[in-house]
């Protein structure tokens, strides 16, 4: 996938907020996160059933939900399948931004759209 070490994990069920807000994510166990990486948004390559996808990865607390615990979730670009309980792998490629707080889901959606543009520019085949 890249020069970065691939991390394998099984997709788990999240709260479903991303799907309802137009940015569905795959959720993974946050314990998979390497301790030498900061919390925030990253461009990532994701391998699902042998096919490579661009991903906007988030690790940290979802402040818009007033959460304090960290989550690990990835929005896969151009992907619309149900892959719960399947193993995937991802490699962290480029830091996009740190964790931010948003006053509304609308503000968050606008920022995610910007993050996805940054991911698309950061990753090329």
Mean pLDDT, residues 58-62 taken together: 93
Q: Which of 13-27, 28-42, 62-76 has the lowest mean pLDDT?
A: 13-27
Q: Which of 81, 88, 11, 108 is nearest to 45 (CA)?
A: 88
pTM of structure: 0.90
Distance CA 22, CA 30 (A): 22
Check whether 65 has a pLDDT greater than 60.
yes
Query: 90-121: per-residue pLDDT in tens?
Result: 999 999 999 998 888 889 889 999 999 999 99
d(CA 44, CA 41): 9
Structural fold of domain 7-122: Elongation Factor Tu (Ef-tu); domain 3 (2.40.30)
Q: What is the C-alpha to C-alpha distance for residues 47 and 67, in angstroms, rounded to an integer? A: 28
The domains of the chain are located at 7-122
Which comes out higher in pLDDT, residue 46 or 24?
46
């Amino acid at each position: 996938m890249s020069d970065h070490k691939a991390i394998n994990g099984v997709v788990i069920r999240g709260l479903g907020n991303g799907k309802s807000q137009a940015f569905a994510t795959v959720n993974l166990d946050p314990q998979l996160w390497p301790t030498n990486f900061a919390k925030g948004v990253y461009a990532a390559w994701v391998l699902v059933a042998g096919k490579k996808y661009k991903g906007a990865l988030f690790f940290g607390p979802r402040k818009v939900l007033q959460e304090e615990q960290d989550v690990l979730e990835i929005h896969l670009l151009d992907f619309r399948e149900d892959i719960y309980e399947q193993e995937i792998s991802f490699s962290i490629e480029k830091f996009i931004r740190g964790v931010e707080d948003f006053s509304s889901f609308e503000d968050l959606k606008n920022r995610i759209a910007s993050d996805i543009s940054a991911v698309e520019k950061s990753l090329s085949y």
